[in-house]
Chain A
Amino acid sequence: MATNLEFIKSTTGTSVSTLDVTDCFSADYDVYYVSISKADFTGNAYTGMRFLDSGGTVINQLEYDYATLNMNSSTSFTELKGTSQSYLPNFALTQTGSEDFGGISFYIFNPYDSSSYTFVTLQASTYGGATPKLYGSKYIGVHKSAEQLSGIHMIRSDVATMDNMTVNVYGVK
């Protein structure tokens, strides 16, 4: 059988501080592709995410580990990492401006499998800053609890309002 992406759900938020994509995981897929190509922000901050448990409640316990290489076009790259975090932080740094958000593509593995941890790989590209430059993220993350998840909870590190953001979720068949 041919493989493909199968569109599951699109969620858009305008002038919100968090954005939930509910009930996007199911037994139909083991792997999910998530694309965020439309977003505008007014603050200088990183993007982050949590998961929703099977009841739709945001998981904010210290159950997340991550590691990322923060790349930019003019200065040395930096490693950011952490264990037992309350969310998956520090990807897709964006500044003020409508033209500066490139996109985020990430894959989520086994979110609906109650016997497995849930893993994330991610890559992002943005632009901006006081001295404008390119920012890139290469990222891995894990939710260290074997439980069934139902959705995604997007946040910003400055807890500021997202002018708008659209999150599209696909199943990888």
Chain B
Amino acid sequence: MANSGIFSVNDINDLINNQQYPKIGELQHIQTQTFSEVYNLNFMEIQEEYYDVHFMTFNRVNGYSAINSGIQFYEDGVLETANVYQDASQYGTTGGSFGESKSTARNRIYLHNYGNQQPTGGYAYFYNLGDSTKYSFCTWHSIQAFTSSGTMFFGSGVMTQASKVNGIKIYIDSISMSGSISLYGIRYS
């Protein structure tokens, strides 16, 4: 539809029907980063003033050797690296091994392992990032494909201080990673 600059109600309805006009309540794309052999990945335009809930997807993310991945938050532009994060997660393998991972004092929210050039897919929800009176929380669920087996992870995490979070860092150890990660806001959530 040509944009004359002014939408009539019928124009808007037509655009909505064709998925070309945003509505309150939609899953709204904020940013996708496709990356190769990077050591840091930051989402710094998370539009926290608009969304109470953020949704993140991980697509074919892998490390160049086995690495641990996590989340750190930026508070008003300053990365929080102290041991103020807690997490609790469960892992399970297709071989039948299950176990717990947890900590009350970590320097990031531990998410999952990235295998040696084996892809990981998953998703995470984030809560309260833009609310300076609340702790910031997340939940996630992911699957990593090893050559001979798969491992799933799910869990919850929190940064235990009330602050306004305006950025998300994908924390990794010293090994580079590649893949694609997208961030969305859930409008009116």
Contact = CB atoms under 8 A, between A and B. Distances in A.
A15 to B, nearest CB: 20
Contacts of A72: 88, 102
A124 B27 contact: no
Given A6-B26, A102-B128, A124-B156, A136 B104 contact: no
A55 interface: no
B19 interface: yes
Nearest to A127: B158
B138 interface: yes
Contacts of A37: 52-53, 127-128, 189
A132 interface: yes
A125 B127 contact: yes
Interface string A75-90: 0110000000000000
Interface of B is mostly: strand
B135 A127 contact: yes
Interface residues of B, number: 38
Contacts of A35: 53, 186, 189
Nearest to B140: A123
Interface in A1-56: 1-2, 4-8, 10, 35, 37-38
Nearest to B88: A71
Nearest to A69: B90
A112 interface: no
Contact of B103 (A73, A76, A132): A73
Contact of B88 (A8, A77, A98, A100): A77
A76 B98 CA distance: 13
Contact of B100 (A8, A76, A100, A170): A76
Given A102-B128, A103-B128, A5 B88 contact: no
Contacts of B102: 71-74, 77
A114 B154 CA distance: 32
Contacts of B24: 7
A170 B23 CA distance: 12
A170 to B, nearest CB: 6
A154 interface: no
B75 to A, nearest CB: 14
B28 to A, nearest CB: 9
A168 interface: yes
Interface in B87-110: 87-90, 100, 102-104
15 contacts: A7-B188, A73-B88, A73-B104, A74-B104, A101-B134, A102-B158, A123-B141, A123-B154, A124-B156, A125-B138, A125-B156, A125-B157, A132-B160, A133-B104, A136-B139
Given A125-B139, A135-B156, 4 more contacts: A7-B24, A102-B138, A123-B125, A136-B89
8 closest Cβ contacts across the A-B interface?
Answer: A7-B25, A136-B156, A102-B137, A103-B127, A125-B156, A71-B88, A73-B86, A134-B86
